Amino acid sequence: MFGKVLVANRGEIAVRIIRALREMKIQSVAVYSEADRGSLHVRMADEACAIGPAPSSESYLRGDKILDAARKHNAEAIHPGYGFLSENAQFAAACEAAGIVFIGPPASAIARMGSKTSARQLAQAAGTPIPPGTEEPVADAVEAARTAAAIGYPVMLKAAAGGGGKGMRRVDDPQDLEAAFRDASSEAERAFKDGAVYIEKFITQPRHVEIQVLGDAYGHMICLGERECSLQRRHQKVIEEAPSPFVAQHEGLREKMGAAAVAAAKAAGYTNAGTVEFLVDANANFYFLEMNTRLQVEHPVTELISGLDLVHWQLRIAAGERLTIAQEEVSFRGWAMECRLYAEDPDNGYLPSPGEITALALPAGPGIRLDSGVYAGWRVPFEYDPLLIKLAAWASSRHAVIARLQRALEETRIGGIKHNVEFFLDILSDEAFQRGELHTGFLDEWQRRREVRRAAPSAIVEAVLKQAAVKPARRDTRVSHWKGGASWISTA
């Protein structure tokens, strides 16, 4: 096993990986940008190395600086987390060339799955169903229009190098295609330095269901069931759960999807942890979407129902150990669900809300798992993804896990910034959600029919506010005003 591993990431996922390293008695090296000197992942690491200015293009995306840091600190391996360099085949190859283990699949497998068009070809050759569309990126808006007309609207434009919803546009109407093509291509260019876009048929009200796979370097690969991630906004997942309420109701579907995922991953020469994403229609047809060649944000829900630690296994497999679990030994218990707590304003177009976390109360008790990258007094930087904390829960049934998450959210308090705790309380109490009637457009529809609950300031709130005003942390010239029994106005 490795003696020291560098974690090439930040935030909650860097903290998650450092925790696994500590459990395995492996020394950890954190890297940080100028904006992250005081970040939690740096505080938790054994060693730390500055890698440059705040913009990720000058720090967390600089493979050369990260390799320098690994050499300087004598790290034997690099865990890339998710995002940043995790699906960058050149970086994985540079690690291999430098004699430093990249904790993930071989660079060749990343390259094969990294281009969505080549991934589709691979999947198709392995017998995995794919949605109708182009296998090569389209050259320009004119070709895009011709192709879209041939496969029929609605269509989806997707960045060939993409992920995380960047460079994706749904187009319902031919007259919107040219603008959408331009937007998707320029967004892809900015995000991935590759503006190539391909076209796919849009499947109406699909579910997003993904299969976790885990394979060693000796040809043994297993699947660890599915996660349902249909609740998305702007193609970013918001709530994930395992198992999928849909797959759980369709006998044999899990096994079929699992076999298809393993076939596609094996065709790419895949090792380590990976995820094959599928769209599933109402008739339980499933279509290969893409493969994420890394640890997923939502991996905790799989860990909670399978009892396996994916990061431990990533490290063991990368160190050359055999995966000692047979497919028949994999079993699932209960239900797990995860809420991604973001620094954003869900009532205002999910506008990001960076700033200082002035107060933080987090839930605990039975069945709660927290993966947090923040602490009270820390300033959330504006340069990075707004994910603060993953709040996951486990319980014996879907019904019970929803109740447990509601309880946990009620215990949660994040002061100083806007966040989506209340948004989750509203979703979890929605009847359609509770019945498991999910699809990737669910959230947009729900936002339109959502009844915003506005508790009127009560006498209790008024009394507490008077106390707060007469015992301020610092002098406040308006204190006298509070004594007059003023009328309170709720402004939001």
Partner 1 sequence: MDLHRVEPGVWSVIIDGQQLEVAVEKDGAEYVVTIRGRTQRVAVPDPRAWESSNGDRAAAGVAKVASPMPGKIVRILVGPGDRVEAGAGLLVVEAMKMQNELKSPLRGKIVMISAAEGAAVTAKQTLVVVEADAD
The catalytic residue positions are 294
Q: Which is nearer to partner 1, 220 or 407 (CB)?
A: 407
Segment 431-460, which members bind partner 1 (CB under 8 A)? 453-455, 457, 459-460
Query: CA-to-CA distance for 274 and 290, rounded, in angstroms?
Result: 11
Q: Min. distance of Cβ 52 from partner 1 in angstroms?
A: 16
Q: Which is nearer to partner 1, 320 or 472 (CB)?
A: 472
Interacting residue with partner 1 among 24, 50, 368, 465 (CB under 8 A): 465
Judge whether 394 and 305 are in contact, CB under 8 Å: yes
Segment 226-255, which members bind partner 1 (CB under 8 A)? none
Under the criterion CB under 8 A, does residue 422 sit at the interface with partner 1?
A: yes
Token output for 307: 């009892």
Token output for 296: 């997923």
Cβ-proximal residues to 152 (8 Å cutoff; 6+ apart), any chain? 201
Token output for 38: 């005081």
User: How many C-beta atoms lie closer than 10 Å to residue 172's C-beta?
Assistant: 12
Q: Which is nearer to partner 1, 350 or 394 (CB)?
A: 350
Say which amino acid occupies 461: V
DSSP state of 35: G
- Residue 181 phi, psi (nearest 5): -60, -45
Under the criterion CB under 8 A, does residue 139 sit at the interface with partner 1?
A: no
Q: Min. distance of Cβ 373 from partner 1 in angstroms?
A: 13
Interacting residue with partner 1 among 179, 282, 463, 470 (CB under 8 A): 463
Q: Min. distance of Cβ 460 from partner 1 in angstroms?
A: 5
Judge whether 225 and 275 are in contact, CB under 8 Å: no
Q: Which is nearer to partner 1, 194 or 281 (CB)?
A: 194
Query: CA-to-CA distance for 409 and 406, rounded, in angstroms?
Result: 5
Largest CA distance in the chain: 77
* The one segment of 61-69, 116-124, 441-449, 484-492 that binds partner 1 by CB under 8 A: 484-492
Cβ-proximal residues to 492 (8 Å cutoff; 6+ apart), any chain? 347
* The one segment of 17-25, 43-51, 332-340, 468-476 that binds partner 1 by CB under 8 A: 468-476
Query: CA-to-CA distance for 183 and 328, rounded, in angstroms?
Result: 47
Q: Which is nearer to partner 1, 326 or 456 (CB)?
A: 456
Say which amino acid occupies 365: G
Interacting residue with partner 1 among 344, 367, 371, 404 (CB under 8 A): 344
Judge whether 79 and 61 are in contact, CB under 8 Å: no
Under the criterion CB under 8 A, does residue 57 sit at the interface with partner 1?
A: no
Under the criterion CB under 8 A, does residue 384 sit at the interface with partner 1?
A: yes
Interacting residue with partner 1 among 382, 444, 480, 483 (CB under 8 A): 382
Q: Could you list the residues that contact partner 1 (CB under 8 A)?
A: 343-344, 348-355, 358-359, 361, 382-386, 409-413, 415-416, 421-422, 425, 453-455, 457, 459-461, 463-465, 467-468, 471-473, 478, 481-482, 486-492
